[in-house]
Amino acid sequence: MAWWNDLEPLKQEALAAFAAAGDLTALDQARAAWLGSHGRFTALMKHLGSLPKEERPAAGKAMNAVKAELEAALAARRRELELEAARPKVPYDFTLPGRRRRVGRLHPLTQVIEDIVRSFRRLGFAVADGPELEDEYHCFDALNTPADHPARDTQDTFYLPDPAGPRGRWLLRTHTSSVQIRVMESQPPPVRIIVPGRVYRRDNADATHNPTFHQIEGLYVDRGVTVGDLKGTVEHVFRELMGRDVRIRFRPHYFSYTEPSYEIDFSNALTRKMGREWLEIAGCGMVNPVVFETVGYDPEVWTGWAFGFGIERIAMLRYGIPDIRLFYENDLRFLHQF
């Protein structure tokens, strides 16, 4: 029997060497020892050429079969060792619960703003935006606010030290009403917008005041708009936001950019629990024709109403929050409650 018919012991020896390799480096060494260019099996293959011609086919076939088997065994052992190398070195309990990331949530003020915006969107209002850094014209003059109005005083408003521009001094807007002017300047009527945003006043912080706070402005301009539309809209939105038991009251007031003007009082179970039947929550009124003239709307054709809500007030009422400063302290113990 020719030697190539008895490759079995050699093959077993090689297979044993592969199986014995304890890591990838050892396996590489075993591969080199058997199948590398100077390997033992490779040497046999080289020997093939020196066999008599008639013996070569049978010898080649036998050796190729063994070689294929060795390579398959090598690959299988490699996969095993690779898996082993990837396994954590420290014992690991796969039944432990995963590390959970705490899901973030929206700030309560953002939640209130989003709810109010959603409500108005359903009524066909679009969200408008304007700069927090304003000029006197948009914040006061165009809103028919006279020069001697206290809101214009440096005691009440943050003016910038920069020299005045063509539209007066620069300031941090004291209300979102300035955006009414910017929107009407930029488009013809009709208008149906709400404007959520941050405003600034020179107030000392206490339980109900903060030098920065948030408002939502509303402006509706069309033909034949009435106070009834205004009251119905405000009532609808507050009931969606605060519940069916909400009542709204309009109390005559004065704003230079509306005529007539009202303050909106709000009442529900919570205000009564606080010992107050009515709580003032917003200003509103029918847009003063003088304002329409300023922005180039014909006051004989167009009518409108406007309002401004304080967001913090509403959020405090909605969630029963006693101190406005809690909104700004970023204390997670507070924020996680909403």
- Which parts of this chain interact with ligand DAH (CB under 6 A)? 175, 177, 217, 255, 258, 283-285, 306-308
Q: Of the two residues 27 and 145, which places its CB atom closer to ligand DAH in the complex? A: 145
What crossing angle do the helices spanning 311-319 and 108-122 adopt, rounded to 10°? Answer: 110
259 is in an annotated binding site: yes
- Which C-beta is closer to ligand DAH: that of 115 or that of 259? 259
> What minimum distance in Å lies between the beta carbon of 177 and ligand DAH?
4
Nearer to ligand DAH, 14 or 195 (CB): 195
Name which of 157 and 268 has its Cβ closer to ligand DAH: 157
Closest separation in Å from C-beta 173 to ligand DAH = 10
Q: Two tokens at 176?
A: 């979102």
Give dist(CA 109, CA 238) in Å, integer.
15
The string of DSSP letters for 192-260 reads: EEEEEEEEE-----BTTB-SEEEEEEEEEEETT--HHHHHHHHHHHHHHHH-TT-EEEEEEEEETTEEE
Cβ count within 10 A of residue 73: 16
- Closest distance to ligand DAH from the beta carbon of 99 (Å): 47
- Cβ 106 to ligand DAH shortest distance, Å: 24
Classify 88 as helix, strand or coil.
coil
In the bound state with ligand DAH, the residue whose beta carbon lies nearer, of 33 and 227, is 227
Shortest Å, Cβ 315 to ligand DAH: 17
Q: Are 179 and 196 in contact (CB under 8 A)?
A: no
Q: Rounded to 10 degrees, what is the CA torsion of 174, 180, 181, 186?
A: 140
In the complex, what is the shortest distance from the CB of residue 218 to ligand DAH, in angstroms, rounded to a whole number? Answer: 7
Structure-token match 């809209």, residue found: 233
- 238-264 exposure pattern, b = at least 16 Cβ within 10 A, e = fewer: bbbbbeeebebebeeeebbbbeebbbb
- Nearest to ligand DAH of 196, 308 (CB atom): 308
Helix, strand, or coil (residue 52): coil
Please give the annotated binding residues for Mg(2+), written as ranges.
259
> Binding site membership: which residues?
259
